[in-house]
Amino acid sequence: MAASCRARKRTACSRRAFITRVAASAGAVSLVRRHAAGQPGGGPVRFRQSALNLPAGDEVFRKYAAAVRAMHQLPLTDPRNWRRQADIHVNHCAHENGLFLPWHRHYVNQFEQICGELIGDKSFAVPYWDWTKQGGQIPDAFYDINELNVTYWKDDGNGSSPGWGSIRTQGVRGLSKGQRLQDDPVRGGNFTTQRLRQISSTPNYNILVSQLENSPHNTAHVLVGGQAATPPVNGFMGSGLSPLDPLFWLHHCNVDRIWAEWQVSGNSTPRFNTDFRAQFYDATGTRLDLAADGSLNSDSLGYAYDTMAAFGGALALAAAAGVDASQAFEPSEAAMVEERLLGSVDVDALLPVDSATSFSIAITRLADTLSETRPVRGVELPSVAAIQSFGGKPEEALSRFGKPRDIRKRVYAVVRNPRAESVLAATVNVFLNCPYLSRGTPYTDEHYAGGFSFFGGHGDGGHADGHSDGSDHVPVKDVWIDITDAIERLGLSNEAALQVQLFPAAEGNPNLGSVRCESIRVVSA
Ligand SMILES: [Cu+2]
């Protein structure tokens, strides 16, 4: 079967078959390598698939379950042990700054190779959890297969670190089987296709990473993290020990995919000049020093996403799309865009949870700004079906990917240094000029603009406090929320003032506490 399939044009076979062939056959691997020739590391050999495209009984879930079991069976003295892998996150993870994406790319990449080593399949690739698909439900396999169900292992949820404080958490999920992220009346707005399109509508890495981390990433941690018991504790996903939930790795795989697709469409990531020393372990359990800047080229790390598989990897995709790959894979400062301050307000109040606080921000030049354009690159890859319909030439399906097109300048509300106080987890929903804003106002309301979340706190200030790259300094944290669509929908571009409304919603905690932040700026970029 594989041989006859290989003899035909590769897109004549199904995408699944192609990926399986890549995984199973040295000949097919060379097909990929041909595209990726000259790459250090030899091009991708692990292809990450969309978990929601796969049936619950798919072999990738069974392989993953076997790997999770094998890691649980390793002794604690082995750094590849399940708990030891989660401890890497507790002790070292980078959040709240640009290192968030490089750090987690290395983390998932090493984990994936450990899985492959332990199950004897070096082509094993962690699937990704695409929150925009099927309403963002958790793939059924994560309930149906014991090893992937968070309750099965009874992992110990206690731990501590300078970054996370003391952690007490339990193996529960806030979403039951079939429940969807987008079903959440307000917070579900962080996972829509429209939201993800907004997030990628910037050539500026800092704006991308802020939105990606604080909105869908943190909010999914909050929703999946749920809460259990009295007094309430977070589920694993709502804590620094979130990698104890096998779903964590698919969640971060999806975060990584969004960055990878943004990169390979020709957007640049800045240089970090930071090494992660002695934080990660390779497939044999050997300690590694990895450079943040060494994370940029996913091909050279050995993996690619299924959206890139038909092209043979990220580099070949870039070539097919006519993108200068050095833009994508070499660190560069070229990505900075002009930011223009349109208005701001100092906020020195504690924002009570479960009620709206409105800030009136005098705005100048909003209409002017919205009449200006700037280029953005198409980041949406064609579907598998679209690629297949181009008879063996997937390149021809790339009508928009990687192509710069002009869009109106984006307008952002930038919330400085938001902090959760005395809440386990919280989401702050952002609305504009809503006269009737209440707890039940949904994300489908025309005044809804966006949101961001905290997680991981245990009454000690929350994830937003003191959580850093392991160094002592805690940088200023700006949370960027794209409010352009809401402004246009509401026809606010000629208003002299915007009402920016923050609505912090706690996660079922009766001792709600409050949220504070320092300022809100309205910025175009
Ligand atoms: Cu995470």
Checking if the pLDDT of 19 tops 80, the result is no
- 53 alpha carbon to ligand 1 midpoint, in Å? 22
- 330 alpha carbon to ligand 1 midpoint, in Å? 25
Checking if the pLDDT of 195 tops 50, the result is yes
Owner of token pair 């804590």: 239
Rounded to the nearest 5°, which phi and psi values hold at 385?
-60, -40
The answer to whether the beta carbons of residues 246 and 68 sit under 8 Å apart is: yes
At 393 the pLDDT is: 78
Residues 6 or more apart whose Cβ sits within 8 Å of residue 73:
none
Rounded distance, CA 249 to CA 234, Å? 18
Question: Does 479 or 16 have the greater pLDDT score?
Answer: 479
- 18 alpha carbon to ligand 1 midpoint, in Å? 30
- 243 alpha carbon to ligand 1 midpoint, in Å? 8
At 48 the pLDDT is: 97
- 109 alpha carbon to ligand 1 midpoint, in Å? 14
For 510-520, what is the mean pLDDT? 81
Checking if the pLDDT of 175 tops 60, the result is yes
For 74-91, what is the mean pLDDT? 97
- 250 alpha carbon to ligand 1 midpoint, in Å? 10
**Average pLDDT taken over every residue of the chain:** 86
Would you tell me the crossing angle of helices 314-321 and 247-264 to the nearest 10 degrees?
A: 30
- 94 alpha carbon to ligand 1 midpoint, in Å? 10
Sign of the Cα torsion 473, 275, 214, 508 reads negative
Amino acid making up residue 102: P
Q: What is the CA radius of gyration of the chain?
A: 22
Rounded to the nearest 5°, which phi and psi values hold at 130?
-80, 105
- 456 alpha carbon to ligand 1 midpoint, in Å? 10
Question: Does 8 or 494 have the greater pLDDT score?
Answer: 494
What is the tens place of the pLDDT at every residue in 446-492? 999 999 998 875 333 334 333 333 333 446 789 999 999 999 999 99
Amino acid making up residue 258: I
The pair of structure tokens assigned to 21 is: 């062939």
The answer to whether the beta carbons of residues 43 and 315 sit under 8 Å apart is: yes
* Length of the chain as a residue count: 525
- 252 alpha carbon to ligand 1 midpoint, in Å? 6
- 445 alpha carbon to ligand 1 midpoint, in Å? 28
Confidence of residue 16 (pLDDT cuts 50, 70, 90): very low
Checking if the pLDDT of 37 tops 50, the result is no
Owner of token pair 């970029």: 525
Sign of the Cα torsion 93, 97, 99, 102 reads positive
Q: Which residue, 488, 517, 513, 515, is CA-closest to 504?
A: 515
For β-strands 275-281 and 233-235, DSSP reports them as: unpaired
% of residues, the chain, pLDDT over 90 = 69
At 34 the pLDDT is: 34
Asked if residue 139 has a cis previous peptide bond (ω within 30° of 0), the answer is: no
Residue 119's CB is within 10 A of a number of other CB atoms, namely 18
Lowest mean pLDDT among 186-195, 425-434, 509-518: 509-518
- 340 alpha carbon to ligand 1 midpoint, in Å? 31
Sign of the Cα torsion 88, 92, 97, 99 reads negative
Question: Does 286 or 462 have the greater pLDDT score?
Answer: 286
Lowest mean pLDDT among 151-155, 222-226, 330-334, 340-344: 330-334
Question: Does 358 or 43 have the greater pLDDT score?
Answer: 358
- 116 alpha carbon to ligand 1 midpoint, in Å? 22
At 469 the pLDDT is: 37
- 217 alpha carbon to ligand 1 midpoint, in Å? 6
- 394 alpha carbon to ligand 1 midpoint, in Å? 33
- 241 alpha carbon to ligand 1 midpoint, in Å? 10
| Cross-strand pairs, 350 | 516
The pair of structure tokens assigned to 242 is: 């979130």
- 190 alpha carbon to ligand 1 midpoint, in Å? 15
- 221 alpha carbon to ligand 1 midpoint, in Å? 7
Lowest mean pLDDT among 228-232, 262-266, 489-493: 228-232
* Top mean-pLDDT range of 106-115, 268-277, 334-343, 470-479: 106-115
For 202-217, what is the mean pLDDT? 95
What is the tens place of the pLDDT at every residue in 394-422? 888 898 899 999 999 999 999 999 988 76
Burial class (CB in 10 A: 0-12, 13-18, 19+), 346: exposed
3-state secondary structure of 47: strand
Rounded to the nearest 5°, which phi and psi values hold at 79?
-65, -10
Torsion of CA 14, 16, 20, 25, to 10 degrees: 20
- 465 alpha carbon to ligand 1 midpoint, in Å? 16
- SS3 letters for 169-228? EECCCCCCCCCEHHHCCCHHHHHCHHHHHHHCCCCCHHHHHHHHHHHHHHHHHHHHHCEE
Lowest mean pLDDT among 300-314, 318-332, 504-518: 504-518
DSSP H/E element including 330: none
- Dihedral class, residue 302 (left if φ above 0, else alpha if ψ from -120 to 50, else beta): left
- 280 alpha carbon to ligand 1 midpoint, in Å? 16
At 29 the pLDDT is: 31
- 248 alpha carbon to ligand 1 midpoint, in Å? 7
- 185 alpha carbon to ligand 1 midpoint, in Å? 22
What is the tens place of the pLDDT at every residue in 423-445? 677 899 999 999 999 988 999 99
Rounded distance, CA 509 to CA 425, Å? 9
Q: How many CA atoms lie within 13 A of 21 on its CB side?
A: 26
Residues 6 or more apart whose Cβ sits within 8 Å of residue 387:
11, 15, 310, 394, 397
- String of b and e for 127-141 (b: at least 16 CB within 10 Å)? bbbbbbbebbbbbbb
The answer to whether the beta carbons of residues 223 and 174 sit under 8 Å apart is: yes
Which segments of 247-300 are extended strands (E)?
275-281, 287-291
What is the tens place of the pLDDT at every residue in 142-172? 999 999 999 999 999 999 998 888 898 899 9
- 171 alpha carbon to ligand 1 midpoint, in Å? 16
- 222 alpha carbon to ligand 1 midpoint, in Å? 10
Residues 6 or more apart whose Cβ sits within 8 Å of residue 109:
295, 301, 302, 303
- 442 alpha carbon to ligand 1 midpoint, in Å? 25
The answer to whether the beta carbons of residues 347 and 332 sit under 8 Å apart is: no
- 223 alpha carbon to ligand 1 midpoint, in Å? 12
| Cross-strand pairs, 97 | none
- 234 alpha carbon to ligand 1 midpoint, in Å? 14
